[in-house]
Amino acid sequence: MMMNKKLDITASIVLFNENLKELTKTVNCFLEINLKKKLFLIDNTPNSLFKDVFKHNEIEYIAVGKNIGFGSGHNLSIKKVKEVSKFHLILNPDVTFKLNVITNLISELDKNKEVSMIAPKVLFPDGKHQYSCRRYPSVSELIARRFSFLKPLFKSTTFKGEYREKDLTQPFFAEYITGCFQLYKTEDFIKLKGFDERYFLYLEDVDICKKIDVLGKKKLYFPQEEIVHVLKQGSSKSIKLFLRHTSSAIKYFLKWGLK
């Protein structure tokens, strides 16, 4: 992609079994922002299901032909955004936001040299708070999150893990921020080499936050801006996804050590 002037922002969405109505809302939210932009739709379906769904000069469709996972999918945008955009957004296909959210987040991110990534407050569709900024997970916390009947035994662990003792109406540097909406300085996303592709699904968002630490930079939780995220929580409903989650957890702790 050759351009005389950098785009303000690029974004990538990885697609698999998406709800088309939700996805269309997400795509439209991005296309409506008043910035020079490009959206990469990375289709992980084996039959290129979304090939002819969205036709727009600010959208580039990438057919993968197989499900290569969340992180590997997003990483396909790395070469395409290098030297092209100032900021890059990792976006889930079930997220909606108001017109000025991205512009305001860019403004905040741009003035913080020590910050590589910024993310807003996240709400469920019913308006309830999603605890999207968290401390790095312990083994016990991950077990409690996957098995709801164990949550009462680990209530204090999950409470602390979600920063519930903090005033979450104020911005702060979180240990990690979930991956449904992560806005990066593109140059830092390139330096990080994107996501670790050893994770097929789950914990790649935690891992990249660890890599930001290694880079000597920070992640800013900025609740003055809000988005809405449907949140499927697939691993609590599917044995296959549960096994994916377990596999990712093992890889994460082998890489970074037990907390």
Domain assignment present for residue 207? The answer is yes
Residue 69 carries which side chain, given as an amino acid letter?
Answer: G
Residue 225 is assigned to a structural domain of this protein: yes
Task: Find the CATH number of the domain harbouring 162.
Answer: 3.90.550.10
Residue 12 lies in a domain: yes
What's the CA gap between 86 and 106, in Å, rounded? 9
pLDDT tens digits, residue range 92-140?
A: 999 999 999 999 999 999 999 999 999 999 999 999 999 999 999 988 7
- 145 — pLDDT class (breaks 50, 70, 90): low
Instruction: State the chain's mean pLDDT as an integer.
Output: 92
- State how many domains the chain has: 1
CA 65 to chain centre: 22
Q: How many helices (H) and strands (E) does the chain have?
A: 9, 12
Checking if the pLDDT of 32 tops 80, the result is: yes
120 has which bridge partners?
222
In whole angstroms, what is the distance from residue 146 CA to residue 257 CA? 20
Helix H or strand E segment including 254: helix 239-256
Asked whether residue 150 carries a pLDDT value surpassing 60, the answer given is no
User: What are the phi and psi torsion angles at 117 (to 5°)?
Assistant: -140, 140
Which helix or strand (DSSP H or E) is residue 224 part of? strand 218-229
In a domain, 171, yes or no: yes
Residue 2 confidence (pLDDT) above 50: no
Q: 159 falls in which pLDDT band (50, 70, 90)? A: confident
> CB-based contacts of 38: which residues, under 8 Å, 6+ apart?
1, 7, 10, 11, 58, 59, 60, 84, 85
pLDDT of residue 110: 97
The answer on pLDDT for 237 being more than 90 is no
Please name the residue that has the structure tokens 């609740």. 223
CA pair distance 167, 148, nearest whole angstrom? 26
How far is it, in rounded angstroms, from Cα 133 to Cα 40? 26
217 within some domain: yes
Q: Of the spans 110-114, 158-162, 242-246, which averages the highest pLDDT? A: 110-114
Give the side-chain half-sphere CA count within 13 A for 223: 15
Q: What is the pLDDT of residue 152?
A: 64
Give the whole-number percent of the chain exceeding pLDDT 70.
92
- Give residue 259's pLDDT band: very low, low, confident or very high (50, 70, 90): low
Between 42 and 4, the higher pLDDT residue: 42
**Residues 99, 104: Cα–Cα separation, whole Å:** 10
The reply to whether 2 falls in a domain is: no
44: number of Cβ within 10 Å: 24
> For position 258, what pLDDT does the model report?
85
Rounded distance between C-alpha atoms, residue 115 and residue 217, angstroms: 5
Q: Which two tokens stand for residue 160?
A: 């602390």
CA distance 118 to 174: 10
Domain assignment of residue 158, given as a range: 7-256
- Range from 141-145, 177-181, 191-195 carrying the lowest mean pLDDT: 141-145
**Do the domain assignments include residue 135?**
yes
Q: Does 1 reside within a domain?
A: no
